[in-house]
Amino acid sequence: MFVTFEGVDGSGKSTQAKLLVDWLEAAGHDVLLTREPGGTPVGEAVRGLLLHGDSMEPWTEAALFAAARSEHVARAIGPALAAGRHVVCDRYLDSSVAYQGIGRGLGAARVRELSLTVTDGLLPHRTFLLLVDPDVALGRGQDGPDRIEQEAAGFRQRVDAGYRALAAAEPARFVALDGSLPPAEIQETIREHVRVLL
């Protein structure tokens, strides 16, 4: 099983991913919890550039995310799935489509195609999208804002709208959840959906 968590920064996706993995492991499942960008030494190095480096052109940003994702699938996600492990990933290609394709205006279809090319078309079985007002989510951040989190409100609103459009376009894969609900309540809904996949 390959499931991903998506949402604007501060939506609670990382918390929910960890709660799901804790639940799966308590039930005896072998699970890889990973994140994007990251998940491999190369991916973590690229993460530093993307989140804490200098400003860059939109396509440079998209290409770096795709490069980290290619490495991630080849060296972590793919081998885990091949070994029969479950994979829970905090962000995946939908982040690139929402942030770079829609937020940066590069084009959702073009950015999606880039990610599908470098990952051999690997898509999650289920994607949980935590929906929270972007301005509310911004106030939830625990650390100082990274390079992308510092973008103006208009950018955050475009990313949020992009995510909602993605969920509407792929209702069989996406599960949109109200991220303002109590974490335990959100998690129970997620577990209901995951039980069907196990």
Answer yes or no: is pLDDT of 143 > 90. Answer: no
* Closest CA relative to residue 198, chosen from 25, 12, 6: 25
Mean pLDDT throughout 143-167? 84
CA pair distance 78, 85, nearest whole angstrom:
10
The CA distances from residue 79 to 127, 169, 195, in Å, are 20, 29, 23
Place of tokens 């942030």: 99
22-75 pLDDT tens trace? 999 999 999 999 999 999 999 999 999 999 989 999 999 999 999 999 999 999
pTM here is 0.94
Structure tokens at 132: 């929270």
Our measurement of the distance from residue 63's CA atom to the centroid of its chain's CA atoms, rounded to an integer in Å, reads 16
88-100 pLDDT tens trace? 999 999 999 999 9
The CATH number that domain 2-197 falls under is 3.40.50.300
Answer yes or no: is pLDDT of 192 > 80. Answer: yes
